[in-house]
Structure 1
Amino acid sequence: MNATLKLLPLAVGAMIACLPAARAAQDNVSELSNFRQTGNSQPAETIAQTGKTADALRENLKQIKVPPGFKIELYAVVPEARHMAIEPSTGVVFVGTRKNRVWQVTDRTKQRVASDVAQFASSVTFKVPNGVCFSPDGVLYVVEQNRVLGFPAAQFFGEGGPDVAAAVVLAQGKLIPTQFESFNHGARACRIGPDKKLYIALGQPWNVPPKDKLAELDRNGLAGIIRVDQDGKNREVYAHGVRNSVGLDFNPKDKTLWFTDNQVDGMGDDTPPGELDRATKAGENFGFPWYGGGKVRTVEYKDQNPPAGVVYPQVEFAAHAADLGMSFYSGKTFPQKYQGGIFVAEHGSWNRTKPIGARVMYVPVKDDGTAGEAEVFAEGWLTQSGEYMGRPVDVQMLQDGSLLVSDDYAGAIYRISYSGAK
């Protein structure tokens, strides 16, 4: 048993003691965090990996264009697949959703295709468990709309049925003030930083927030990125002025935090731009709501002075392409051009008169740590007639250096690999 598991009962016990008695008595997580069974005998939901759906998805992938030497294949059928976390030692993929499921995707034969897909921790009632990320020592963090849970050795406990070992990192209602809960911008993203802290991107519930709400939003880290210790303590706002980030990662070389940000709606088809931002230290402000994206001022705050020292984006993406998950490529199997760069999933526009996006972008990173010019890496999920065949959400690298792409519209995960120029 590793150190994390040995310490879990003590750490969890301390956290549970702080919960209100009524909630502790009713919450399955309280039972699970004390290694007690919940009595749930309902089998976990499983998803068939063969049949008409899988066949149709493979057929659709024939329309996807990738650079020479690359190929894209179906990795798994996963309903509403959003953000992914890949367990460091086994490669088991955990997949969040905007509904109430977390999925466990296992490749048992190492043929780089899923053997089975099953519901993870079905004893837990999740609410928008979009954000999933692993610590280096194998703890899976699930960031819901308004709660954060930790699952040590998730890939092993998840095999045993609905009950798993769990710990409450931030209890229900403690991630954000409950009055700011909303179906709009409620999907979180997370990463463990080089400082071993848990970083969480928090959207805010408006297109542009009212002026009288701005101070409270900022104080609680909404419209920003917070960080906490892995037990939930020592919370602080790391980045301010971020409208709705649903993707973040750290540059392995210089340890800076990069993140996508979605721009203000309703300002026109071609403005303002989407963003890829770089935070070099705690406390920086990235301009929202004074700026709607890039250097474009919002109508609501055009007469207000922006904070001093606003940090502008490293990359301005096409307006309303909905840039979501992002990941640095640290592998060696892709050509040198892509090594050390960033892959970004564009979910696709929802309110643009001519749709755009539904593709994977690539952004090179220069020797000085800044971004080069973005380019399209994989596209074709948006047809010429403007119909979506799929909508990419997240990009993560498998241990073999191939790239996984999640798609919540088609309900799938794809794998992009490189076998040499043709």
Structure 2
Amino acid sequence: MTTYFHTAAALCLAAGMASAQSADVPDNLDKLSNFQSTGVTEFTFIEQDGRYAEGIKRTLERITLPDGFKIELYAVVPDARHMAVGPQGIVTFVGTRKDKVWAVTDRNKDRVADEVKDFAPSLTFSIPNGPCFSPDGFLYIAEQNRVLLFPAAEFFYESPDVAAFNLVAKGDLVPPEEESFNHTARVCKIGPDGKIYISLGQPFNVAPADKLDLYNEWGIGGMIRMNTDGTGREVYTYGIRNSVGHDFHPVTGELWFTDNQVDGMGDDIPPGELNRQTEMGQNFGHPWFGGGTVRTNEYKGEEVPVEVVHPVVDMVAHAADLGMSFYTGNMFPEKYKNAIFSAQHGSWNRTTPVGARVMVTYVDAEGNATSEPFAEGWIDENDEYLGRPVDVAQLRDGSILVSDDLAGALYRISYGE
């Protein structure tokens, strides 16, 4: 059993070792699918105390929230991206854009994680950004070009070997020749219809015309859905640039999603998007629109050949709106019921950084929405990022978790405690 302490040096060493070994580690999926042992016995554990954790806690002292709310360090989780909270409340699985999925456990239920270790270390993951759970406890992990299914992850994650199966085999999510290093952070959610919805960002800043037919066929630059046994794949959403967050309205069942918009058009355009989809097959405008109603330079002179659904909310340009979740808990005040909490990762190429905060969006009965900052302060007076929020998930007690892939952490936001 190996323990790595969460210091910068140790993380660099661990990352280097993982990269060096990845080519030599066999993909044990066939063995796990047949309930066979792989021989892997060691986990990587992440130290939860010490100077690194104390530094994160100092950063959290500067985060501003509405009255009555507080934010605390829940867990140190390297490269933390999207989260899936187990239906039984036993463990939270956290994806990354590297080769790890982390299992985060609060064993004594004091609302601080006691243990963070890698999940299914006998498997070789490739950008396992998007974990999601079905209501009956099946865990799905959307990777760069594969979707894996773990029927009992919440109960068998204590072992390095855990039953695992292909939902979508490697190379079948997108054509292998369309694999890219860009916009490959997939996310998934189970819809009210019981199907799994998976976003497929297209790899370009603006998708070229000669790719559009292929991408529409596969759902690249859109969202696909399928049955939870992998059958019945169909394209549900078109005209997305790179959506890295979606959820379903708890009352209407409608799909809402964020979308990252075109770069290189200036600091203040185009806006980011929060979208609402009311029926299958709707098109949200890419590549003819760069964001909101702003036309892209590449397609500016062309007639738009589809009917476009424009965003419900125009977000600040380049704030990089990512993960989102409807709030259904009972801990927060009533005005937050069925509101959307979403993470802005922060701009990467804007003259003055924006974002790096958690937003809240209130949705009325007609589907109209208004957004405002909820938790902010991760950009300091020197315009330096102290953290970059990625995703928002709800714990069973009604508090919410926020992931941060820069600090490598999960934060817990509670009310009235």
- Is 2:32 aligned against 1:32? yes
Superposed, which structure 2 residues align to 1:366-405 within 5 Å?
A: 366-368=364-366, 370-405=367-402
Aligned partners of 1:202 and 1:116: how far apart in 2? 32
AA at the equivalent of 1:309: E
- 1:230 corresponds in structure 2 to 228
Q: What residue identity is the alignment partner of 1:127?
A: S
* Contact 1:203 1:222 survives alignment (8 Å): yes
- The one-letter code of the counterpart of 2:114 is S
Q: Which amino acid in structure 2 is aligned with residue 403 of structure 1? A: I
1:241-278 Cα deviation digits (max 9, x unpaired): 00000000000100000000000000000000000001
1:113-128 pair list within 5 angstroms: 113-128=112-127
The letter of the residue matching 2:269 is: T
Return the offset for 1:306.
1.6
State percent identity of aligned pairs: 60
After TM superposition, give the deviation of residue 134 of structure 1 in Å: 0.0
SS at 2:173's partner residue? coil
Partner of 1:308: 306
* 2:61 partner SS: helix
TM alignment of 1:180-259, pairs within 5 A: 180-259=178-257
Instruction: Report the Cα distance in structure 2 between the residues aligned to 1:55 and 1:386, rounded to whole angstroms.
Output: 22
Aligned-pair distance for 1:413?
Answer: 0.2
C-alpha distance in 2 between matches for 1:100 and 1:227: 25
SS in 2 for 1:82: coil
Q: Give the distance between the partners of 2:369 and 2:278, measured in 1 at CA.
A: 17
For residue 216 of structure 2, give the secondary structure of its aligned residue in structure 1. Answer: helix
Q: Deviations over 1:152-192 (max 9, x none)?
A: 121221102x2111111000000001111111100101000
Corresponding residue for 1:147? 146
Instruction: Provide the rounded CA distance (Å) in 2 between the counterparts of 1:372 and 1:301.
Output: 29
2:360·2:373 contact (CA, 8 Å) conserved in 1?
yes
**Superposition TM-score, scaled by structure 1 size:** 0.92
Question: 1:91, CA displacement in angstroms?
Answer: 4.0
1:327 and 2:325 aligned: yes
Instruction: Give yes or no for the alignment of 1:168 onto 2:179.
Output: no
**2:252 matched to 1:275?**
no
Measured in 2, the distance between the counterparts of 1:156 and 1:54 equals 28
Paired with 2:149 and 2:118, the residues of 1 have a C-alpha distance of: 16
Q: Structure 2 CA distance, aligned partners of 1:371 and 1:68?
A: 25
> In 1, Cα distance between the equivalents of 2:48 and 2:368?
39
Aligned counterparts of 2:175 and 2:158: Cα–Cα separation in 1: 35
Instruction: After the TM superposition, list the runs of 4 or more consecutive aligned residues in structure 1 that deviate by more than 6 angstroms.
Output: none
| Runs (5+) with no aligned partner, structure 1 | 1-25
Decide whether the 8 Å contact of 1:363 with 1:371 is kept in 2: no
CA-to-partner distance for each residue in 1:293-314, whole Å, 9 max, x for gaps? Answer: 0000001111222233210001
Q: In the alignment, which residue of structure 2 is the partner of 1:137? A: 136
Q: Deviations over 1:215-238 (max 9, x none)?
A: 111111000000011111111000
Q: State the 1:139 CA deviation.
A: 0.5
Inter-partner Cα distance in structure 2 for 1:304 and 1:403: 44
Per the alignment, residue 349 of structure 1 pairs with: 347
1: distance between equivalents of 2:345 and 2:303?
32
Aligned positions, number: 392
The residue type equivalent to 2:289 in the other structure is Y
Aligned counterparts of 1:234 and 1:384: Cα–Cα separation in 2:
51
Partners in 2 of 1:335 and 1:27 — Cα distance? Answer: 47
CA distance in 1, matches of 2:380, 2:305: 42
- Measured on the aligned residues, the alpha-carbon RMSD in Å equals 0.9
* Aligned residue in 1 for 2:262: 264
Q: Secondary structure of 1:374's partner?
A: strand
Q: How far apart in 1 are the matches of 2:125 and 2:313? A: 34
2:332 match: secondary structure: coil
**Distance in 2 (alpha carbons) for counterparts of 1:121 and 1:48:** 19
Q: Distance in 2 between matches of 1:99 and 1:27?
A: 16
Q: Distance in 2 between matches of 1:240 and 1:228?
A: 16
TM-score (norm 2): 0.93
**Using the alignment, how far apart are the partners of 1:74 and 1:103 within structure 2?**
16
Q: Quote the Cα distance in structure 1 between the aligned partners of 2:76 and 2:285.
A: 39
Match for 1:28: what amino acid? Answer: N
Q: Which amino acid aligns with 1:300?
A: E
Question: Do 1:328 and 1:340's aligned partners in 2 also have CA atoms closer than 8 Å?
Answer: yes
Partner of residue 45, structure 2: 46
Code of the residue aligned with 1:178 in structure 2: it is P
Secondary structure of the 1:213 match is: helix
